[in-house]
Amino acid sequence: MAGTEFSEEPTIRLKLLVDKEKNKVVLAEVGKDFVDVLFSFLILPIGTIVRFLQKHHHNQKSPAAATKIGCFNNLYKSVVDMSNDDFLTEACKHILLYPMHVKVSQCKRLKLNIDDTPILKYYRCPDLGNSQSCSKAYSNFYSLKCVCGKFMKQEIIANEGVREEIFVSDNKSFIISDNMKVGFSSISLALKTIRELGHTDLDKLDEMLVDVGHKEVLALLECLLSSDTPLTDAFLMKRSSCIITKTPNMASLAALQDGGKEEESNEQQLSVTLFVRKQDKKVLYAESGQDFVDLLLIFLAVPLELVWGISGNNIELECIDNLCKSKKSLSSSQATHHSSTMLPLNYSFQAPLLGISRKVSIPWSVTINYQRYDLKLMYPNYDGSGESTIHSSSGLVRRGTTYMISDDLTISAKKLFFNYLHIEEVECRLG
């Protein structure tokens, strides 16, 4: 049907075990295809999830606002509102609005793939091999310029390489509990799950078949981020949601100040000036240079699983934790699990400060007129100027600008106005 976003779409059939009295999903029996879809949620960058949920609510014409993922929605909107001139290059803004992940190509093979992020393409200068002044580099963006001044618009056709499993290799049945624990299907696991959830009368449980399409997958993703019973809320429309909350052991302002003064560290540190209301020590906004803003914006490219890992025990949402543990135990190999929790090369800046692994840069070999050239990655922030470096990533936003960051992580290069008689200035170091 014209105008329908997903016409004649594929579907995956699930078998749900439902408590009829409580109108609650106890568990689901699914195949490999659906488990791969579930695990793909964890490698989606936060910025992509924000964009998906906003688009989903718009397409559904839902009167309710899209689920907010902490302050990440504000970070994403800040990027949308910033002009291209606020960034080192147009590509720098693009990789935040449409962040990539390391398994984009593999996830295109998912039976239900909600990720519309384009597969990475590779470009070189069309004059490579004809001009000595050309940079021996490749780029993922044809909007970037070679050192010779020409756009990197000659596409390099990439080989598909070895076709590997997306996440799980066993073509078996799996059981998923309502709190997102995934395991191989067995009678013993099913009975154990039923007992743990307090169901003693099996006669009150009923089987229900559900055909899941793109719309249902997006609804499940939203429920995963906002509910402690995602299967029930997504497939029975119960919506008994909980809110993502911080736990009381989050670092205080005093701890941040003390941590910056007690000892010197050799690790990378960033300085931020906080403006705090004297009355209750509430942070009104922060003032910083480009490095701290780069650090905040890079979170839009960090996969959900890594954000969860960085947060430690500071966020209460059991379902994501259960799904992360299940993915780790059921992945076809530990190498597959580890590679899916890395940042792509284009996001290497500030990754060490976050303790995140990055993919290693591997030269790309091309042959032109019988001459072999080993090309290195041209980072998206290369603007062709003498101060810009082709093969190293130095950030996203323009240098020399002071940025204002509100307490809800709205970023602006404009000055915020407060009554300065009621606030105090506090220096903090982040490392």
DSSP 121-167: -EEE-TTBTTBTTS-SEEBS-TTSB-TTS-B--EEEPPP------SS
- Amino acid identity of residue 61, one-letter, is K
pLDDT at 431 (0 to 100): 57
What confidence tier does 80 reach under pLDDT thresholds 50, 70, 90? very high
pLDDT digits (tens, 9 = 90+) for 231-260: 999 999 765 444 444 444 444 444 444 444
Please count the other Cβ atoms lying within 10 Å of the Cβ belonging to residue 410. 17
Terminal-to-terminal C-alpha distance of the chain: 54
CA atoms within 13 A on the CB side of 46: 23
Average pLDDT along the chain? 80
Q: Which of 57-66, 132-141, 219-228 has the lowest mean pLDDT?
A: 57-66
Q: Taking 50 as the threshold, does the pLDDT of residue 390 lie above it?
A: yes
Entry pTM = 0.83
Q: Which of 59-73, 263-277, 290-304, 417-431 has the lowest mean pLDDT?
A: 417-431
**How is the chain split into domains, by residue range?**
12-121+158-250+291-350
DSSP H helices, 161-299, are 187-196, 214-226, 230-235, 253-261, 290-298
pLDDT at 135 (0 to 100): 84
CA distance 73 to 57: 14
Radius of gyration for the chain, computed over Cα atoms and rounded to the nearest angstrom:
24
Phi, psi of 124, deg, nearest 5: -135, 170
